[in-house]
Amino acid sequence: MKQYDIVIIGGGPAGLAAAVSAKKNGIDRILILERDEELGGILNQCIHNGFGLHTFQEELTGPEYAGRFIEQVKELDIAYKLNTMVMDISREKVVTAMNREDGLFDVQAKAVILAMGCRERAKGALNIPGFRPAGIYSAGTAQRLVNMEGYMPGREVVILGSGDIGLIMARRMTLEGAKVKVVAELMPYSGGLKRNIVQCLDDYGIPLKLSHTVIDIRGKERMEGITLAEVDERGKPVPGTEELYSCDTLLLSVGLIPENEISEKMGVEMNRATSGPKVNESLETNIKGVFACGNVLHVHDLVDFVSEEAAAAGKNAASYVKKERPEEGNGREIRLNPENGIRYTVPVMINTARMDEKLTVRFRVDGVYKYCYVSAYFDEERVIHRRRQVMAPGEMEEMKLTREQLLQYPELKTITVKVEEE
């Protein structure tokens, strides 16, 4: 059985950035396992610009952004296997994978970095009545068809859900000559970034209907149309608000689910709010030497932050392999507690001995908040109190903590993060 210092599951933006970071931190034996036929992951089909402003201080398309990291991987001579499906990871960090060349094989890792990304929520999860005609696609599938395969899914389009991929596809389909009739969103707020609503919908005159959902699909062989209805605060359709739209295509942009089947199987403790692993300040899971980063941990809205997070995971995994980290008992464990409008925090636990000088805590809110404050309470004392003009679930928020700040509170057990009005 081949031995590696670090095995990285997934060759998308998170896996690539983690590999580059681990190599630069002194680890030589690294292996990336990727199930697709090329590195880059989802970025390969994101041909729009807007990537790289934070990482490279210039605006790139998805393939260009991925290309920068792929070049680094090749320059640093990091090993990778394509068309390789990971079947299982044991708690002893034996990775079982499969491809055509090697068949079924095992590799032993000292550390594993989970970077599998996420998948789209499918139609089956929505329970929409009606037949199952041709013409219903997830937004990501439609994006792949248009941008990579050169196929046009349809000419008259309705989009359900206002996630970022759905908004971007509204613009893309319009540019390709289709008529996007409406974007409907079940929630009273959009799930995508504000800039995408402006650039993809408002600029092209595409209506966005909040608190609306599809209640019926017409057509047996091919889609002929849908029925849209307003919903009340409990998500139930309001009688008398039905509208008919003729269309041949329905695109679903109804959320992303982190790919954590393998993680759960190996016994990684999961966070119900994110559907990703619970991690500490080093992005390490409850299994020693198993780290997680990117969309498998929690769904990001900017790839630049994925790369930043993955670089931290690569660096921490390198420290683990080289046994440079302080022992657990050296520092205090501080729990992060999300409350009052905060859905979750990443990380969930901080060890003061292991944390860097600065730590970024990322979180999302559970609704739209205007003219409010984000506060952090160190036990009972309010230490951080920052005014925010507007916060929405579609945009990830962050808070900086410093090691120096935490060491000033020797008895600190819990940091509570919440939204406050004053």
CATH number at residue 74: 3.50.50.60
Gap between the Cα atoms of 170 and 181, Å rounded = 9
Q: What is the mean pLDDT of residues 260-280?
A: 95
Weakest mean pLDDT among 206-215, 322-331, 405-414: 322-331
Domain end point (choices 254, 278, 313): 254
Assess contact for 214 and 128: CB atoms under 8 A. Answer: yes
Please say if the pLDDT value at position 129 is more than 90. no
Domain end point (choices 298, 325, 352): 325
The pTM score is 0.93
**What is the total count of domains within the chain?**
3
Q: What is the DSSP letter of 220?
A: S
C-alpha pair distances (Å), 10 with each of 73, 117, 158, 312, 405? 13, 7, 32, 16, 36
Q: Do 377 and 295 belong together in one domain? A: no
Q: What is the mean pLDDT of residues 348-356?
A: 90
Q: Do 11 and 41 belong together in one domain? A: yes
Assess contact for 206 and 183: CB atoms under 8 A. Answer: yes
Please say if the pLDDT value at position 61 is more than 90. yes
Please say if the pLDDT value at position 135 is more than 80. yes
Q: Which domain holds residue 179?
A: 122-254
Cα within 13 Å of Cα(386), Cβ side = 11
Q: What is the pLDDT of residue 235?
A: 86
Backbone angles phi, psi at 166, to 5 degrees: -60, -45
Gap between the Cα atoms of 68 and 76, Å rounded = 12
Domain end point (choices 325, 348, 371): 325
Give the pLDDT confidence of 393-409 residue by residue, as tens digits: 988 999 999 999 998 99
Q: What is the mean pLDDT of residues 44-67?
A: 94
Q: Do 222 and 267 belong together in one domain? A: no
